[in-house]
Amino acid sequence: MCAAVAGATCSTARRRYDFSIGVPDWKSFPFELWRRLAARALRAVSTSGASYDEPEGRPKLREAIAGHISFARAIACTPEDIVVTAGAQQAFDLLARILVTPGRTAVAIEEPGYPRLRSVLAAAGARIAPVPVDDDGLTVDRLPSDAKVICVTPSHQFPLGVRLSLPRRTALRDFARTRGAVIIEDDYDGEFRYAGRPLDALQTLDRTQCVFYVATFSKSMFPALRLGFVIAPPWATALARFCGEHLRVVGIGAGLHLATYLTRRASAAGLIHKAREAGIWLDDWQQFAALDRRSEGLVFGYGAIGSQIGDAVRQLARLMN
CATH number at residue 309: 3.90.1150.10
Note the pLDDT tens digit of each residue in 217-240.
876 666 667 788 888 876 667 665
Q: Does residue 6 have a pLDDT over 80? A: no
pTM: 0.68
Note the pLDDT tens digit of each residue in 76-117.
888 888 888 888 888 898 888 878 888 888 999 999 999 999
Average pLDDT, the chain: 77
> Which of 190, 217, 232 is where one domain is finished?
232
In a domain, 46, yes or no: no
Q: What is the mean pLDDT of residues 130-146?
A: 94
Note the pLDDT tens digit of each residue in 20-49.
666 667 777 788 888 888 888 888 777 766
Run of H or E including 61: helix 59-73
In a domain, 314, yes or no: yes
Burial grade of 231 (CB within 10 A; 0-12, 13-18, 19 or more) = buried
Higher pLDDT pick, 206 / 254 = 206
The C-alpha atoms of residue 105 and residue 208 are separated, in whole angstroms, by 20
In a domain, 281, yes or no: yes
What range defines the domain where residue 194 resides?
59-232
Burial grade of 318 (CB within 10 A; 0-12, 13-18, 19 or more) = exposed
Q: If pLDDT is split at 50, 70 and 90, which confidence band does 5 have?
A: very low
Q: If pLDDT is split at 50, 70 and 90, which confidence band does 297 have?
A: confident
CA distances from residue 135 to 113, 139, 142 in whole angstroms, order as listed: 14, 9, 15
Same domain flag for 289 and 225: no
Q: Does residue 122 have a pLDDT over 70? A: yes
Note the pLDDT tens digit of each residue in 164-217.
999 999 999 999 988 888 999 998 776 666 566 667 788 877 777 788 999 888
Domain count, the chain: 2
In a domain, 315, yes or no: yes
Per-residue pLDDT at 294: 56
In a domain, 306, yes or no: yes
Same domain flag for 215 and 91: yes
CB 86 within 8 A of CB 229: no
